[in-house]
Amino acid sequence: MVTFGKRLREAREAKNLSQQDLAKLIGSVHTVIGRYERDEMKPSIDVVKRLADELGTTVGYLIGEAKEAQFLKDPTMLKRFQEIDQLTEKDKECVFSLLDAYLAKSKLQAFLK
């Protein structure tokens, strides 16, 4: 069974971050990250959310509900995702509507070729 700690370590290493780097990003210390990775300590859901955000993955992946990591590997995409995440719900809906329309147009164009 793949544990939270193993998934956390995998996600951290995929982003080429040290335990110290990740700890700084979430306002913690590297020893705590190490304890999470060794499954010696369980973080709060708020900490899991911050970890997922910083690692460009989902809470579902880290806690084992999703089978694959959904990393945003492109730094520009990750930055945009983080900026969108800070918007109000109404503004997010607007962004998603625009994105959905563009993606539908793109799929239709690809289908018609």
What domains, with CATH codes, occur in the chain? 4-63 (1.10.260.40), 75-112 (no CATH)
47 with 26: CB under 8 angstroms?
A: yes
72-113 pLDDT, tens per residue? 666 787 788 888 888 899 999 999 899 888 888 888 888 777
Instruction: Specify the DSSP class assigned to residue 113.
Output: -
Label residue 61 by pLDDT band (50, 70, 90). confident
pLDDT for the residue 71: 56
The angle at the Cα of 100, spanning 90 to 78, to the nearest 5 degrees, equals 75
What's the pTM value of the predicted model, to 2 decimals? 0.61
13-28 pLDDT, tens per residue? 988 999 999 999 999 9
